[in-house]
Amino acid sequence: MQGIAAAGIVAALPRHIAGAASALAGEPAILAGTHFDLTIERLTTNITGKSVPVIATNGTHPAPTLRWRQGDDVTLAVTNKLSEPSSLHWHGIRCAPEMDGVPGLSFPGISPGETFHYRIPVRQSGTYWYHSHSGFQEQLGLAGALIIDPDGLDPIAYDRDYAVLLSDWTDSNPASIYDNLKKESDYYNYNQRTAGTFFEDVKSDGLGATLANRKTWGRANMSPTDLADVGSSAYTYLMNGEPPRANWTALFEPGQRVRLRFINGSAMTYFDVRIPGLKMTVVAADGNAIVPVVVDEFRFATAECYDVIVEPEADRAYTIFVQPLSRGGYARGTLAPKIGMTAEVPPMDPRPLRTMVDMGMTMSMNSMSSGKMGAASAEKSSSMDGMNHGAMPSMHSMHMEGNPGVRTMHHPFLILRPEIFGIEPLPQPGPHTPRFVPAPGTPAPVLKTESTPIKIGPNVVSVVAHPEPRWSDPGDGLENNGRRVLTYADLRALFPGVDGRPPSREIELHLTGNMERFSWGFDGYRYSQAEPVRMKLGERVRIILINDTMMEHPIHLHGLWGELENGQGAYLPYKHTVSVKPAEKLSYLVSADAAGRWAYHCHLLYHMEAGMFRAVVVW
C-alpha cells in the first residue's frame, strides 16, 4: 500500500457558497456553473511507487467534481485527446438518451480529436457521479463526482460538505485483468481453502459435517472464499484518488454537521464504510432524501451513493475506514479539526465466507427477518398473480394527491396534466411534488409475470430453487458484528413517490453466470444474444430480479428511476442502482416515462464486459 506522501485536502463547501471553492493540492478541481469544458487525455500517475498510465480529465485523476444546480440547463463540451473513442455517462441523471453517453446504444461515442457537446436540463438534485462507458476507461481513472444543489431549501441541513469518491486502482492493464479472469476465474483469489483449513474445520465441526460441506460446495463448483473477482492482490483502494498513506482529510469544527457524500466509483468492489467513534446518520440514497437512519456502518455496491451526516463534538481526529468485501486492503481518510492530525486505523475485520444461504439452500430467512420483511413479502405476493393489460387505469381515471401546502397541479419543471403523462419525465419526489394515484373505485390490474425460460448450459451453471428477499440481511461478514449496519429494509423515502399507480405487468429477469467460463448475462444470454426489454411509454412496470449466482450484482438502469419494494408503502426509496445478493429475489417499480434506448447492466465492469448487459427500449 505504497502511496503519495503529500496529504490532499478537499475544500469544505459551506452551504451559502457551495461549489464556489477550488480544490487544494492533490485533489481534483471543483467546477461549478452551467457550462463546463472537459478534456480527456492519457497521462501518467504514481500511486504505488510505479509510474503507469492514467486517463485524466482536465489534468486530474479522479476527474473534476462537478457542481450543478437544479433548474439550470447545463452544457458540457467534452474533448477527447485519446487515441481511441471515449464517452462520459452521467450516472443517475435523467436526460435525453442521446446525452446519456453509451456508445453504440444512444450515441456514437466521442472520436479521437472530437469535441462532443452534452446538453442536460437539470431537473433533480442530490449526489451522483459520472464515468466513461467505453471499454475499460472507467478502471483507468475516467470518473468523477457530480453534486446537484436543490433549487430551494435543502431538506438536509449541514455546515460542511464533502464528496468522498471511493475507487479501486490497479497498475495492471485492465484488458490483461479481464483476460486472466476469462482464462481462470479465481486468478486473483489468493484465499482458497487448503488442507490446513480442512483440519481446522474438522476440529471445530466434526469430520462428517466438514466432508458434507466440502461435497456441497464441490457440487456447486464454487468456493465459499469466492467473494470478489478482483481483490487486494491487484487493487489499491483510493479515497478521492488518494491511497491510504496519503491520508485524505476533511476538516470540521467541533459541533458542526458534516455531510459526507459517499460515492462507490469503483470498477469491481463492494465497500464497507465506518468511522470508529462516530455514529453516521444516513440521509440520502442514490441522490434521494430518506428518513434519517443512524448506523455504525454500511455496505454499498459499485455505483451506489449514500449521503451521511456526522457531528463530531470532540476536538480530535477520526478515521474514515473503508474495507472491501474481500478484505485484504483498505481505503482510509481522516476527519479532523486541523490539517496533519490522524487517528488510529482499526484492524480489518475477518475475511467473510459464503454460506449455504448464498447457494439458496435454505427455504427460510427467519433468522434475519423483521416485521418489515414479512409485510413486504405479503404485499408482493398478493400483487403478483395473473395479468390483465386492459385493467391498467388511464390517466383520465387518476387524481392528484398534493403534499401539504400544494394547492395546484403545477410543478416548477413540469405541468402535471393527464394528457402529457408519459411524454414528459415525472419529477423527482420533493416536498411540493403532487402524487398520481388511482381514482377511488378503480380496479387494480391483474398481473402475470413475463419471464424467459432458463436452460442450464454453458452460460448458466444453476438456477436457485428458492430465491428469497434478503433486504434485511446486512451481507456476508456483517451479521452480528456488534455494529448497527444499514440494510435495504431501513430505506424509507422522505417524500412519497410521484407515481402511485400499481404496475400493469411484471418482467422477471434472472441474473446468471458461469464462473468457470467467466460468462455473465440476463436469463442465460449475453447482450449479443438477447432481445431488448421493451416497455410502452407511460406504463408502470414491476421488474423482478432473481440472482442465480453466488456473487452480488449491482444492477443499474439508465434513464429511469427504480422504486425498491422494501415494505415502505408510498415511501419506497428511489434508486438508480440496486444490489442483488446471491440467491436473492427482489423487485422494484419503474415508470416508463422517458422514451428511448437505455442501457441496463451489472455495474461490475468486467461482468458487464462479459455479457451482463441488456438494452431497455421505451417507445
Residue 196: predicted pLDDT = 63
Q: How confident is the model at residue 212 (pLDDT cuts 50, 70, 90)?
A: low
Candidates 547, 540, 532, 536; CA nearest to 467 is 547
Q: Give the rounded distance of the alpha carbon of 299 from its chain centre.
A: 11
User: With left for phi above 0 and alpha for psi between -120 and 50, is residue 332 left, alpha or beta?
Assistant: beta
pLDDT at 181: 96
Full 3-state SS string of 502-525: CCCEEEEEEEEEECCCCEEEECCE
Report the pLDDT value the prediction gives residue 473, as an integer from 0 to 100. Answer: 96
Residue 383: its pLDDT value, please?
Answer: 36
In this predicted structure, which of 183-187, 226-230, 404-408 has the lowest mean pLDDT? 404-408
Could you tell me the CA-to-CA distances from 250 to 83, 317, 318, 326, 327 in Å, in that order?
37, 10, 10, 27, 24
For 318-342, how does the pLDDT look when each residue is reduced to its tens digit (9 = 90+)?
A: 999 999 999 999 999 999 999 999 9
Distance of CA 248 to the CA centre of its chain: 23
Q: Tell whether pTM > 0.75.
A: yes
Lowest mean pLDDT among 53-67, 146-160, 350-364, 599-613: 350-364
Average pLDDT over residues 565-579: 98
At 591, list the grid cell.
415508470
Contacts of 600 (CB under 8 A, 6+ apart): 533, 555, 556, 557, 558, 613, 614, 615, 616
Tens-place pLDDT, residues 374-405: 333 333 333 333 333 233 333 333 444 544 33
SS3 571: helix
Q: How many other CB atoms sit within 10 Å of the CB of residue 359?
A: 20
Res 446: pLDDT: 87
Strands, sheet with 577-580, edge to edge from the N-terminal-most edge strand: 533-535, 613-618, 596-602, 553-557, 577-580
C-alpha grid cell, residue 381: 405476493
Question: What tens digit of pLDDT does each residue of 505-537 get?
Answer: 999 999 999 988 999 999 999 998 999 999 999
SS3 145: strand
Q: Average pLDDT for residues 233-250, to the nearest whole number?
A: 96
What are residue 17's phi and psi, to 5 degrees?
Answer: -130, 30
Residue 357: predicted pLDDT: 72
> What is residue 292's predicted lDDT score, i.e. its pLDDT?
98
Residue 564 has pLDDT above 90, yes or no: yes
pLDDT of 79: 98
pLDDT band at 461 (very low <50, low <70, confident <90, very high): confident
The predicted-structure confidence for 487-496, as pLDDT tens digits, reads as follows 999 999 999 9
Strands 533-535 and 613-618: parallel
At residue 580, does pLDDT exceed 60? yes
CA distance 265 to 129: 8
Q: Does pLDDT of 72 surpass 70?
A: yes
Please, are residues 25 and 17 in contact by the beta-carbon 8 Å criterion?
no
DSSP state of 403: P
For range 84-104, the mean pLDDT? 97
Q: Give pairs for 386-389: CB < 8 Å, separation 24+.
A: 386/446, 386/447, 386/448, 387/445, 387/446, 387/447, 387/448, 387/449, 387/505, 387/506, 388/445, 388/446, 388/447, 389/445, 389/504, 389/505
Per-residue exposure over 3-20, b if at least 16 CB sit within 10 Å of its own CB, e if not? bbeebbbbbbbeeeebbe
Residue 18 or 77, more confident: 77
Give the per-residue pLDDT at 378: 34
Candidate from 180-184, 359-363, 448-452 with smallest mean pLDDT: 359-363
Q: Is the pLDDT of residue 8 over 60?
A: no
Position 548 pLDDT exceeds 60: yes
